[in-house]
Chains A and B, each alone.
Chain A
Amino acid sequence: MAAIRCSGLVKRYADVVAVAGLELTVAAGECFGLLGPNGAGKTTTIEILEGLTEPDAGDVELLGMRWGGGGAGGAADRALRERLGIQLQETQLADKLTVAETVRLFRSFYTSSHSVDEVLALVELEEKRGAWVGKLSGGQKQRLAVACALVSRPELLFLDEPTTGLDPQSRRQLWEVIRRFRAAGGTVLLTTHYMEEAERLCDRVAIMDHGKVIALGTPRELIASLGAEHVVEFALVDGAGRVPAPEELAALPGVQAVRPGPDPTALTVAAVHLAVPALLGLLERRGAELSMLATHHATLEDVFVSLTGRQLRDA
């Protein structure tokens, strides 16, 4: 049975279409990532799935149930909420409550739940048990938010940009929490604009742009769709020599695709050992001077760039 199934989702705000006919199916036990730049419609989508935003059109089914049975906030909705764990992007928990008091408050809303100690152990916040929420670091607050989502022993966990703004160490700690939840059989839907996070955590990802899914698959499949595994990026010193035309670059041995600058120019490359010497030779003949040259394994970031022509971060 699918944990999440939705079709034809549409949500319009006054001057913008946030979600434009979205279809998704997430299998039970899967970790599914919604990727995309800010404003792509990720948060609107996840909040429609969570039953917090009313869609203008479309159908949502979670764990075989639908929202609004018996009216908003009715018994049927509450029964469904018992089975979900939700972390919202902007929630600020009360500053003047302690970590344990906060978890205990959320715990009291559910009929079945972890003990306070169990859930604090899950997110490694045992030492902060008695600390006021206002005194926690960003990473600790975020783990507390996830603890409040996990306290109900959910079958389905929604995380909206759980690691945005966190330092690398805090990010890794949260990834570990999510991995443990999955290992215990839970289903996760998360949104992120960190491609690395999606590659590491998700079984499948949907790349969103302007309220639509523009690519869907496992991270490996999506990267393979580029047709090459490496990316070579370079930039030239201004005014030195003549910049090679995109067609010339595309003709170099081993080059699959070219994304011209301004800065930097990126080549999708199947064979780095052929393409790089050929590129250097071409630049030398033109008298061009390199200001930067880098190669890396292709990532989901490159997939997004090749699909939209824009970088994720500044899209």
Chain B
Amino acid sequence: MRDRPLVQLTLARMREFYREPEAIFWVFGFPLVLAFALGIAFRNRGPGELKIGVLRAPGDSVIAAALDRSPALAAAVLDSGEARTQFRTGRIALLVVPGDPLVYRYDSTRTESRLARLEADEALQRARGRPDVASVRDERVTEPGSRYIDFLIPGLLGMNLMGSGLWGVGFSVVQARTKKLLKRFMATPMRRSHYLLSFILSRLLFLFLEIAALVGFGWLMFGVAVRGSFGALALITVLGALSFAGLGMLVASRARTIEAVSGLMNLVMLPMWILSGTFFSYSRFPDAMQPFVKALPLTALNDALRAVMIDGTGLVRLGAPLAIVAGWGAVSVGVALKIFRWR
């Protein structure tokens, strides 16, 4: 029976990958470690007790006692030197200076300090007899989907698709070129299209393991659910993987050394690590940068993944980001095929 070249090339790709423990770690292990560490570090536990300083002065103990009665606050009476140090280093969120009027000293750009200002004022005004004019009731809920980990998991998925697409294709192609293996293949009747397709195929096969690992981990460990359909999620990840494999091919199309291709890949990936909203929302960047940030393939991919996983959006409403992802892939492959160095 004849072996099919495309099957054999794809098998070779996959064997070279899974026989390389480092590659396994970077593709499967590292994103999980990252998700775990960040999920733990940024878990929702509320702000805890806010630390408030009261400057040593007549009336300080009455004020401190009133503040301590609030469950959200912890007050301490401090000398002026001590107060200055603790204020400057952020160990107290707010400094209360007794007197008439009372003075609240705080940094209004810090969320924590503004919260402390509200809580402290509330506690002190009540202690002096201010009545509540409307009756209210608190309902406390924790909504899955609004936590940091819910935001993070789709971002890590996108980042992983980018990394494994670029490294998986770019690195192997350049390695084959430096070892003259590419030239050796060119000395056989092998079709060039088979060679390039084998990268795409092996990427797609590993892709499902990558998604399953990360999505499964997020679900088991942190209860991160997929609100949209799994079909839509699969389609978006396949498109993302193909697009980044194309970009990997482009990056590797001319490079003759591993050093050269590593540099190029970092050059391509670094802006997207920072700008594309993997770890924090890209809306924090200035308005002038937004069109550029939104045109990046990882930004579009992350948006689409979050829309499906968090909002449960259907594919039809994701035309714009998916077109950006597909466009990057198509242009990259087109250029790569034109300039590819086969020897």
B8 touches A108 (CB 8 A): yes
**Which chain B residues in 1-50 approach chain A with CB under 8 Å?**
2-5, 7-9, 11-12, 15-16, 19-20
| Interface SS majority for chain A | loop
Q: Please tell me which one of the listed residues B11, B16, B189, B192 contacts residue A96 in the complex, with CB atoms under 8 A apart.
A: B16
Q: Does B190 touch A at the CB level, under 8 Å? A: yes
Q: How far is the CA of A82 from the CA of B215 in the complex (A)?
A: 47
Segment among A85-93, A168-176, A191-199, A245-253 that sits at the interface with chain B = A85-93
Query: In the complex, what distance in Å separates the CA atom of A50 from the CA atom of B189?
Result: 12
Given contacts A105-B8, A108-B5, contact A97 B181 (CB under 8 A): no
CB nearest neighbor in A for B6:
A108
Knowing A94-B16, A104-B8 are in contact, say whether A88-B188 is a contact too (CB < 8 A): no
Name the one of A91, A101, A107 contacting B12, with C-beta atoms under 8 angstroms. Answer: A101
A94 closest partner in B (C-beta):
B16
Name the residue among B3, B179, B185, B192 with the largest chain A CB count within 10 angstroms: B3
Quote the shortest CB–CB distance from B307 to chain A (angstroms).
39
Q: In the complex, are the beta carbons of B179 and A81 less than 8 A apart?
A: no
Across chains A and B, the number of contacting residue pairs, with CB separation under 8 Å, is 75
* Across-interface contacts of B183 in A (CB, < 8 A): 52, 88, 91
B5 contact set on A, CB distance < 8 A = 108-109
**Smallest Cβ-Cβ distance to B181: which chain A residue:** A91
With most chain B CB atoms within 10 A of its CB, the pick from A94, A101, A107 is A94
Instruction: Specify which of B12, B181, B189, B343 lies most central, judged by the most chain A CB atoms within 10 Å of its CB.
Output: B189
Q: Does B339 contact A (CB under 8 A)?
A: no
Identity of the chain A residue whose Cβ is nearest the Cβ of B175 in the assembled complex:
A94
Q: Does A234 contact B (CB under 8 A)?
A: no
Is B184 touching A96 in the complex (CB atoms < 8 A)? no
Question: Do residues A108 and B187 form an inter-chain contact, with CB atoms below 8 A?
Answer: no
Say whether A93 contacts B2, CB under 8 Å: no
A73 within 8 A of B: yes
B123 CB to nearest A CB, Å: 67
Q: How many Å lie between the Cα of A109 and that of B194 in the bound state?
A: 10
- Tell me the complex Cα distance, A188–B183, Å: 20
A108 touching B189 in the complex, CB below 8 Å, given contacts A91-B179, A94-B16, A101-B12: no
B180 within 8 A of A: yes
Q: Chain B interface residue count: which class? A: 20 to 34
How far is it, in angstroms, between the C-alpha of A88 and the C-alpha of B182 when the chains are bound? 11
Per-residue B-contact encoding for A141-181, CB less than 8 Å = 1, 0 else: 00000001000100000000000000000000000000000
Count of chain A residues with a beta carbon within 8 Å of a chain B beta carbon: 29
State whether A110 touches B181 (Cβ < 8 A): no
Known: A96-B15, A108-B8, A109-B188. A91 touches B20 (CB 8 A): no
Q: Is the CB of A81 within 8 A of B189?
A: yes
Contact with B along A90-118 (1 / 0, CB 8 A): 11111011000100111111110000000
- Distance, CA A92 to CA B192, complexed state (A): 20
- Knowing A91-B179, A92-B181, A105-B9, the reply to whether A81 touches B188 (Cβ < 8 A) is yes
Cβ distance B324 to chain A, nearest Cβ, rounded Å? 33
In the assembled complex, the CB of B32 is this many whole angstroms from the nearest CB of chain A, namely 24
Asked if A96 contacts B180 (CB within 8 A), the reply is no
Q: Mark B41-71, 1 if CB is under 8 A from A, else 0.
A: 0000000000000000000000000000000
In the A-B complex, the 7 residue pairs with the closest CB atoms: A108-B3, A78-B189, A108-B8, A92-B179, A86-B187, A96-B19, A81-B189
A residues lining the B interface (CB < 8 Å) = 50-52, 73, 78-79, 81-82, 84, 86, 88, 90-94, 96-97, 101, 104-111, 148, 152
28 example contacts (A-B, Cβ-Cβ < 8 A) are as follows A51-B187, A52-B187, A73-B191, A81-B187, A81-B189, A82-B189, A84-B187, A86-B184, A88-B187, A91-B181, A91-B183, A92-B180, A93-B181, A94-B12, A94-B181, A96-B15, A96-B16, A96-B20, A101-B12, A104-B3, A105-B11, A106-B188, A108-B3, A108-B7, A108-B8, A109-B185, A109-B189, A111-B189
